[in-house]
Structure formats: structure tokens, C-alpha cells
Chain A
Amino acid sequence: MTSHDDSDDNGITRRHALECMIWAGTGVLWTISAGVPVSLNMLGEARAAQVPSKGFTFLQISDSHIGFDKAANPHAIDTLKEAMAKIHALPVKPSFMIHTGDITHLSRADQFDAADQLIGRAGFDVHYVPGEHDVIDEGNGRAYLDRYGKNTKGEGWFSFDQEGVHFVGLVNVVNLKAGGLGNLGAEQLAWLADDLKAVRNSTPVVVFAHIPLWAIYPEWGWGTDDAAQALAMLKRFGSVTVLNGHIHQIMQKVEGNITFHTARSTAFPQPAPGTAPSPGPMTVPPGQLRSLLGITDVAVKRGKANLAIIDSTLAEK
């Protein structure tokens, strides 16, 4: 409890404690119970319903790039198979999966079909958001929406609730502007503001999108132009977790109440920011590839303020 380390998933940071005090002054009293912020209303009635009663896990995979066959990984389908085998072997079965985009390499029907055979028919509920590689069909995204757009708004964004946690899937890979980065757009931001209205400050929120919602390396396009507007809407929540893909490597940052995390790809690695002339598939010596590909397991646990994010590579047995 004394830890001031932002990455400590048990710790309540000094800044967080300050926020609790501020909120106490505006009518919501927060009490910290076993590390979980639990809100009490002014009558003292416990309002812990938003806190998960027992806990669950969900699984993130990203950037499967089905159809990719270049030197960096001639068999992207095989490494996706290995990733799915790893998921099936997990000691705790995930409640559901999220795929943070670039399902396919070229948005081709046969590539979507192959991905669906492996991911969609594995017995999990899967929530998808598109990557830029999933919206380059002739219809500029029609193929993606035809498959995954059911129960979504606009270009494929949506939200849902699972055991007291609010999940939001955002699309930041369409209508990209010259010279810009990822883009959410005014319509989606308006929807998000409306969607969050009914969500209590004490509800843990998980937001996922393909391109990182924080500026990792704008020189390579690794950021989202209007992410700040979305993040401003998320400031009032006690616990926010932002999960992205796109950069094919793990990056993590904690800023106030928000934990940002990017996942590995199941297809090929990319260079660390600024370490190569450009982003793109990175060919590594044979035998190293699987140590740079992987999956991300996220645990929502009672008694923890933040979600526990556990990355594992395809090389780990």
C-alpha cells in the first residue's frame, strides 16, 4: 500500500488518493477496500455492485496478418495456430477474446475466412476492432463490416459490459488524413461521450483500438490524432485500461488513472521506435521469431485496483 510505483497493480498512487479526496468533496465518498476503490453514496449505502464479484480473465490477440508470407514470417497462419493452441492450454479459460485488428494482411475474403476458421470457431466469444489492413477491400471497409459489423455503430465501434467492467471497442483506422495519424473522428467521439454517460466513475473501463491511443512514435505514425479528446472523457473513472496493437511489440505507460498497453503480434515483429529506417516487418535470425510473437492475458480480480496484464510469447511453453 505504500508503493508509489505506478506499475504496481496493488498500489493506490498518491495521485489516485488525491482524486478520491476531491471526489469526496463533490458528493461521492470513496473508500478503499482491499485495494479496490468502492464508492459509497452520501447515505452510506454500499455501492459496490460495479466491482466484479469474483473476477475473470479475457484474452487479447492482435495483428494476425493472415495472408502475410514475406521473409519476416512466411507462415503467419502457423503462428496464429500456435497462439490459439496456447490460449486453449491456459489454466483459466478466458471469458472472451478481443482481437485488436489487422486480422488479415490485405482484407481478402480468403484471408478473413482463414482467420475465422482459427479464431472465430475456437469456442470463444470474440470482439474485433479493425486494423488498417482490414479495411483495404474494394469497398473501403465493407468486407470487414459485413463480417464483424453486426451490433456495432459507424465503422464498427461498440461497447459492452462484463461482470461490472465496461468495455469499449474503438475504430481509428478509417478516414485517415494526409500527414496525420490514427483517427477517431467527430461522430465516434460524440458516440463515446454518450456511451460513457451511464457509466459510474467507480466502474473499471477497458478501451481497445488498433492504433495506440497515446503518442508512442508519431514519426512512424504510431499514435492517434484525436485520442486526447477520448482520454479526457475517461479521466473521471477510477480505473481505465487502454489496449492497442499495431506496433507488434509491448509498450506500457501509466498516466494517472489510465494504463496503456500494446500487445505483440502473432505474425511478425517490428523494430523498436527509431531503431530502423522505417517501421515494417522485421526479419530476425531463425529461432528468434517466436520469442517476439505472443498473446496477452488480462485478469480482472477482486481486490485489485488495476487489471493484471500478462504477456507471454509463443516461445514460452
Chain B
Amino acid sequence: MINIENYHRPSSISEAVQLLQQGEATIVAGGTDLTPQIEAGARQFESTLINIQRVEEMRGISVTSGRYRIGGLTTVTDILESTTLAADIPVLVEAADHFASPQIRNAATLAGNLCNASPAGDMCIPLLLLDAQVELVSWIDESVSTRRLALCDFFIGPGKTVLQKNELLTAVEFKQPVAGFSASFQKSGPRPALEISTVAMGFAGVLEAGVLRGVRIAIGAVAPTPLRATATELVLEGRSLNESAIAQAVEAVQEEVKPIDDVRASAWYRTHLSGVYIRRALALFQGVTAHAA
């Protein structure tokens, strides 16, 4: 067992990244991923722990001139209870509603969910539909340095991201979706809660003069990272929603997913479910857009 030599509790981003610059450290947020991983021996602490829970500037949801910002320490409960998001970006609230249990949602942070980089992580799915960016902060040349990166470029493998050891994920940002934007979130499982996704699918698009535009498809638990199904998006882009387009989308998505067999489901079942979900997502989309027209 690693002996913890230092414990820090910074209260600002600047303080936190200066600590990270001093050498290997484990960042602790809600602990809902970290604690079970440590207990199971799947991961070890570094000798320095940095508890970021008191960095108040990393909490909260705000909108500035059409740009939404969700602080990294915002909890899944905060997202679920946000009246702003419920009105403007309901797909984020839907994903939060399917997340774990009330007690886990109260502790689980958005940054923790993204940095844990589980292929079955749920909050990245709606964020991928929104072309979200992550804000990564570090301490370079005696000052705070910030870079922004598309969320789809953030994940590189199960549990792996491009986050550097000296970086902190401070916020997620995205633009106000275009008028007519309609999005859905589906997650498999016999109960809404405490279910690690066997497949989660997000779909978004706009119906413009009878054809689909701006199609976004994000799928969880079917590849080493959360997947943007760009080939399937292309199949649907500019099409009118008829049975032939739907059948081609089902075929394309089943071709595009690269699932594995594990304790929760077989690769065959995940592939099958991806087809079912795209069909359902398109039906939902049709229902909503027909209703709006």
C-alpha cells in the first residue's frame, strides 16, 4: 500500500494547478469512482492527494451570450435540478436522470465522470451531441494556462484521456444549439437507476424543409471510448426520414460500433441494441419534430 505523504485542499484553480505542477498527485472529487477502484486494488493513490472539493469557482452552471458553462465540480444532481438546463438543454437533464442513484448523483461530479473515461460513462453522451469543449488548466511559466479541446478528442481509450498529469479539468462549455435542435438520450437496463449502461445512445438533429441536418450520434459502451458515430451521421445527413433512410442507418450503426463481450452483455447483443436504439431515436425525433411543425 502506498503511503500518503501529502494531503492538500486547495480553494482556487490557481492553487490547485500549482500543487499539480509539483509532481505526481491523485485528484479527488466526489470519490465515487476512485474509492471503489482503490478498494478493489484496480488503482493506487499517488503519495500526494489533492482534494478539489473546495474550489468553489469550479461549481455551477452559467450562460453568457449563448455559451453554456458547467463547472467541473458541478454534481449530477445540480444538472438534474437545473431549471436553465431543463428549459434549454433537456437532453442533459435526461442523462442525469438515468444516472446511478440519488446518493451517487449528489456526490458524482461532471469532471470526475469525464476524467474517469469509462466507455460506459453517461454524461459525455449528451455533451458529444452538443459539440462540447473541455477546459483544461495547468500552471506553466509561473502562470495559469488554459487550453480548450473538443470533447470528442478528449478520450483515447478505456480510462484514458489526453489530460496531462499537471492538468485540471475545470469546466465544460458548449454553444446554444440552433433553433429546432431536438435531442434524445436512451440507456439500456431493466431499471432506470444503478445500471451501468450496456448501451447508451444520444441522437440529435434538426429537421429543415423535411430533411435531416446537423445529425449527431453518440454511443456509450460499444467501443473503447464513447463513440461519435460519424459514418452513421453521414448516412442520415440531408436525408428525409423514410424507411429506407432508417434501414440504412440501422445497418450503418451496426457496422460502426465495436463492442466487446463482458459481464453485462455480449458484443452481439450490444450491436443488436445499437440498431434498435437508432430506430427508436429516429422515431422519437420524428414524433417531436412533427409535433413542433
Q: A and B: partners? A: no
Q: B: which residues have CB within 8 A of A?
A: none
Measured CB to CB, the residues of A under 8 A from B are none
